[in-house]
């Protein structure tokens, strides 16, 4: 049996879930569900990133204890994903006790090995990114992502020998042993490493209290990214009682937890690609673990041409979508909003239009008309799904290539063809039952085939249509998508 391990980033709890987080999470869910359908042994991990300067500041502003603050926001992420029918196998929090212990064990291992050493960091730090910055990273002296001047920092720290792994990383990436997709993203990373080179990176903070204590020097806390990356291991249940971060050296329990290792696909957007392709993979090399198989980078959503942000008041929350369109329609609208891997511009106007065109008038109307005509004419079909091998093949190709919007388009072409046949042949005007059957049966078969393939995207709607159209006597069902 093939295994499929997929991850989303662990999201910062400085903010409640919005449509950007939702995009990554729904895409990961679609992939996880699709691989389960294919029969792959699948593990899907998501969660929250709760330590570090940014969260410490935010909780400080709100005058609450950082853990109590993180509990509240983390619960909102969990709730949002449950509402959206996200099928994650675990929800990891970086404040989980098991995670904290495992991070300490992993860092101790890297320290003992000589990959972490006492040094000093003098330079810039962007709290928004939680990243050390060089002048080259700034635009007009500001962090281009957060539009603030980074803080000047000078403190003793424990540094990770990232430079030691530079050549090995380049080789892995160039030879696609670590696939970075789409291809332009791979080129970006390769040219960054070749041009700028990898410098050692500070892995501890002396002035940040809200973090995991460095096990051999409790006056430091672990750099939040080093802590966060390890979620991909601890989220599988890797626990320090395994004795070592290396599965072959650990206990049976440790090995069992790592049976899914390494990640088949790590989904994220471009903002955090560089750190995932460098620091994270180098940590794995240091730990003696296989590196990730694929990093897939999707685009950024903008709202009406503008960056989404609280100051602009244009943030779309998953709840706003669910309330307006329902769960499955929201999942469809998000996944079809942009070419996966490219930026997309979204708005409620566009969502309304797409909802009416593709769902109310498209899928919803076609299934209603066809099932109604079948019931009225007392036809019996007994359809079995999967008759159209070409369709399955085309759809699967797009899914395999992470072209989710394309996969959906392929299905909608079939639905549109059904619509055209109906308008053309007007079976409701005919009397002859055989003639009516000849028109309706292939359309009903197409609807069933499409509904089966739709399952990863719209699990509940798919199940309803499949049940309806594989029944001996197809009956008109409830309206699936009321017009907006
Ligand atoms: N905590 C870190 C990740 C640590 S992973 C070891 C972090 N968190 S985040 O909350 O800022 O999430 C960033 C991710 O959220 C992006 O990479 C992307 O997956 C998703 N998105 C956030 N805003 C987005 C858009 N506007 N558009 C699309 N996706 C975006 O970084």
From the CA of 15, give the closest atom in ligand 1. Answer: 10
SS3 (DSSP) at 212: coil
pLDDT score at 244: 56
- Residue 59 CB–ligand 1 contact under 6 Å: no
- Residue 10 CB–ligand 1 contact under 6 Å: yes
Residue 47 lies in a domain: no
Residue 373 lies in a domain: yes
Q: What distance in angstroms lies between residue 200's CA and the mean position of ligand 1's atoms?
A: 24
Cα separation, 273 vs 191, whole angstroms: 13
In terms of phi and psi (left: phi > 0; alpha: psi -120 to 50; beta: otherwise), the region of 185 is: alpha
Residue 32 lies in a domain: no
**CA 398, 403, 406, 408 torsion-angle sign:** positive
Residue 375 lies in a domain: yes
Residue 297 lies in a domain: no
DSSP letter for 18, please.
-
Give the pLDDT of the chain (484 residues) as one tens digit per residue: 899 999 999 999 999 999 999 999 999 999 999 999 999 999 999 999 999 999 999 999 999 999 999 999 999 999 999 999 999 999 999 999 999 999 999 999 999 999 999 999 999 999 999 999 999 999 999 999 899 999 999 999 999 999 999 999 999 999 999 999 999 999 999 999 999 999 999 999 999 999 999 999 999 999 999 999 999 999 998 865 555 555 444 556 566 677 899 999 999 999 999 999 999 999 999 998 899 999 999 999 999 999 998 878 899 999 999 999 999 999 999 999 999 999 999 999 999 999 999 999 999 999 999 999 999 999 999 999 988 999 999 999 999 999 999 999 999 999 999 999 999 999 999 999 999 999 999 999 999 999 999 999 999 999 999 999 999 999 998 899 999 9
Q: Contact at 8 Å (CB) between 156 and 277? A: no
Which residues on adjacent β-strands are paired with residue 202? 159
pLDDT score at 189: 98
CA-nearest residue for atom 10, ligand 1, is 11
DSSP strands (E only) in 81-190? 90-93, 116-126, 131-133, 151-160, 179-181
Cα separation, 42 vs 32, whole angstroms: 7
- Residue 272 CB–ligand 1 contact under 6 Å: yes
Edge to edge, the sheet with strand 204-205 lists 204-205, 217-222, 213-214
Backbone angles phi, psi at 381, to 5 degrees: -115, -45
Task: For tokens 């509940």, name the residue.
Answer: 460
Strands 265-269 and 294-298: parallel
Q: Contact at 8 Å (CB) between 15 and 60? A: no
Cα separation, 116 vs 165, whole angstroms: 13
Cα separation, 362 vs 176, whole angstroms: 40
Nearest partner of 343 among 299, 407, 380, 288, judged by Cα: 299
Q: Contact at 8 Å (CB) between 157 and 220? A: yes
Specify the CATH number for the domain of residue 405: 1.10.730.10
- Residue 229 CB–ligand 1 contact under 6 Å: yes
CA-nearest residue for atom 24, ligand 1, is 20
Q: What distance in angstroms lies between residue 145's CA and the mean position of ligand 1's atoms?
A: 12
Q: Contact at 8 Å (CB) between 356 and 483? A: yes
Number of domains in the chain: 1
328-to-22, 84, 203, 458 alpha-carbon distances in Å: 13, 8, 42, 5
Nearest partner of 277 among 262, 261, 295, judged by Cα: 295
pTM of the model: 0.96
Nearest partner of 335 among 163, 442, 459, judged by Cα: 459
Residue 353 lies in a domain: yes
Assigned token pair, 111? 């320290």
Q: What distance in angstroms lies between residue 271's CA and the mean position of ligand 1's atoms?
A: 7
pLDDT score at 263: 97
pLDDT score at 251: 56
CA-nearest residue for atom 8, ligand 1, is 11
DSSP letter for 114, please.
T
Residue 434 lies in a domain: yes
- Residue 228 CB–ligand 1 contact under 6 Å: yes
Residues with a catalytic annotation lie at 18, 21, 126, 129, 143, 146, 307, 310
**CA 217, 221, 226, 229 torsion-angle sign:** positive
- Residue 23 CB–ligand 1 contact under 6 Å: yes
Q: Contact at 8 Å (CB) between 267 and 247? A: no
Question: Residue 362 is part of which domain span?
Answer: 347-470
CA-nearest residue for atom 9, ligand 1, is 11
Residue 370 lies in a domain: yes
446-to-60, 333, 392 alpha-carbon distances in Å: 57, 22, 11
């Amino acid at each position: 049996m093939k295994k499929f391990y997929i991850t989303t980033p662990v999201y910062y709890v400085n903010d409640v879930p919005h449509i950007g987080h939702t995009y990554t999470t729904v895409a990961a869910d679609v992939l996880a569900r699709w691989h389960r359908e294919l029969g792959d042994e699948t593990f899907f991990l998501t969660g929250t990133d709760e330590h570090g300067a940014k969260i410490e500041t935010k909780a400080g502003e709100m005058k609450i204890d950082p853990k109590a603050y993180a509990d509240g926001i983390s619960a909102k992420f969990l709730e949002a994903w449950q509402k959206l029918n996200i099928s994650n196998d675990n929800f990891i929090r970086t404040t989980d006790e098991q995670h904290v212990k495992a991070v300490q064990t992993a860092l101790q291992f890297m320290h003992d090995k000589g990959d972490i050493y006492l040094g000093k960091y003098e330079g810039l730090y962007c709290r928004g990114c939680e990243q050390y910055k060089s002048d080259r990273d700034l635009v007009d002296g500001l962090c281009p992502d957060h539009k603030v001047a980074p803080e000047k920092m000078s403190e003793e720290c424990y540094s990770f020998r990232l430079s030691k792994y530079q050549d090995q990383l380049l080789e892995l990436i160039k030879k696609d042993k670590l696939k970075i997709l789409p291809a332009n993203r791979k080129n970006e990373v390769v040219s960054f490493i070749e041009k700028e080179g990898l410098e050692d990176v500070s892995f501890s903070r002396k002035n940040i209290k809200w973090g995991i204590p460095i096990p051999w020097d409790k006056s430091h806390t672990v750099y939040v990214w080093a802590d966060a990356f390890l979620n991909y291991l601890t989220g599988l249940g890797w626990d320090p009682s395994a004795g070592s971060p290396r599965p072959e050296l650990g206990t049976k329990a440790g090995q069992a937890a790592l049976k899914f290792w390494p990640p088949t696909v790590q989904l994220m957007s471009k903002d955090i690609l560089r750190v995932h392709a460098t620091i994270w993979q180098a940590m794995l090399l240091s730990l003696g673990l296989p590196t990730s198989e694929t990093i897939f980078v999707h685009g950024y959503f903008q709202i009406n041409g503008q960056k989404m942000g609280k100051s602009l008041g244009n943030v779309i929350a998953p709840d706003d979508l669910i309330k307006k369109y329902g769960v499955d329609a929201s999942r469809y609208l998000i996944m079809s909003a942009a070419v996966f891997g490219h930026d997309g511009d979204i708005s409620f106007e566009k969502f309304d239009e797409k909802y009416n065109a593709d769902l109310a008038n498209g899928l919803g109307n076609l299934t209603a008309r066809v099932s109604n005509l079948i019931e009225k004419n007392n036809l019996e079909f007994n359809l079995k799904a999967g008759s159209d091998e070409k369709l399955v093949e085309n759809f699967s190709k797009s899914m395999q290539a992470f072209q989710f919007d394309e996969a959906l388009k392929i299905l909608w072409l079939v639905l549109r063809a059904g619509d055209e046949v109906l308008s053309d042949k007007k079976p409701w005007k005919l009397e002859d039952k055989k003639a009516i059957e000849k028109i309706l049966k292939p359309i009903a078969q197409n609807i069933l085939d499409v509904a089966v393939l739709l399952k990863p995207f719209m699990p509940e709607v798919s199940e309803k249509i499949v049940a309806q159209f594989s029944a001996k006597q197809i009956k008109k069902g409830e309206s699936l998508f009321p017009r907006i």
